[in-house]
């Protein structure tokens, strides 16, 4: 099983940085600030989505431990949680020499997303989560 506490470490630092930039801008009215913060999933919503997909993910055997095993997937979701489009963001890496394991890993993560649909998504705020980028680190699962 995986440790949900580790998942938080996978969240991009850019979210934290953009939140800090917003806080320093005092000119933004509170209403605007509330709208800006409403973009994207909360950490717990994102963790819940990842947990669903982790549960469907069969990680390929024999992955090289010393390699970067992070797969970044962009999803387009319908309001009912079915996935209308998936895209592997590090696509170029799949065809590089010596990265054959990555292609297998990335395809297994895509399969997990498809197997798990419809995803249990938040009941409100479709605009926030209709397009998502989720980062899956196979090492989380292998160590967990």
Per-residue model confidence as pLDDT tens digits over 74-85: 999 999 999 999
How many whole angstroms separate alpha carbon 14 and alpha carbon 18?
6
Q: Output the 3-class SS for the chain.
A: CCCHHHHHHHCCHHHHHHHHHHHHCCCCCHHHHHHHHCCCCCHHHHHHHHHHHHHHCCCCCCCCCCCCCEEEEEEEECCCCCEEEEEECCHHHHHCCCCHHHHHHHHHHHHHHHHHCCCCCCCCCHHHHCEEEEEEEHHHHHHC
pTM metric for this prediction: 0.69
Q: What is the pLDDT along the chain (144 residues), one digit of tens a residue?
A: 444 444 444 444 344 444 444 444 444 444 443 444 446 888 899 889 999 999 999 989 888 878 899 999 999 999 999 999 999 999 899 889 999 999 999 999 999 999 999 999 998 899 999 999 999 898 887 776
Q: What is the pLDDT of residue 39?
A: 63
Q: What is the pLDDT of residue 17?
A: 44
Question: What distances in angstroms separate CA 11 from CA 8, 93, 108, 139, one per listed residue?
Answer: 6, 21, 21, 15
Task: Estimate the crossing angle of helix 43-56 against helix 100-116, to 10 degrees.
Answer: 100
Domain layout of the chain by residue ranges: 4-143
How many whole angstroms separate alpha carbon 133 and alpha carbon 15?
12
Question: What CATH number is given for 4-143 in this structure?
Answer: 3.30.1150.10
Q: What is the pLDDT of residues 71-111, one digit of tens each?
A: 999 999 999 999 999 999 998 998 899 999 999 999 999 99
Tokens matching residue 141: 């699962």
Q: What is the pLDDT of residue 102?
A: 94
């Amino acid at each position: 099983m995986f440790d949900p506490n580790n998942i938080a470490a996978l969240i991009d630092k850019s979210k934290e940085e953009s939140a800090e930039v917003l806080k320093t801008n005092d000119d933004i009215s509170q209403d605007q600030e509330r709208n800006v913060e409403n973009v994207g999933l909360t950490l717990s919503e994102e963790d819940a989505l990842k947990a669903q997909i982790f549960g469907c993910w069969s990680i390929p055997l024999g992955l090289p431990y010393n390699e970067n095993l992070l797969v970044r997937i962009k999803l387009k979701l319908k309001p009912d949680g079915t996935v209308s489009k998936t895209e592997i963001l590090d696509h170029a890496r799949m065809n590089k020499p010596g990265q054959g394991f990555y292609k297998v890993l990335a395809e297994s993560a895509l399969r997990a997303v498809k197997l798990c649909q419809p995803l249990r998504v938040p009941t409100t705020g479709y605009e926030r989560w209709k397009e998502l980028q989720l980062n899956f680190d196979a090492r989380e699962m292998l160590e967990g």
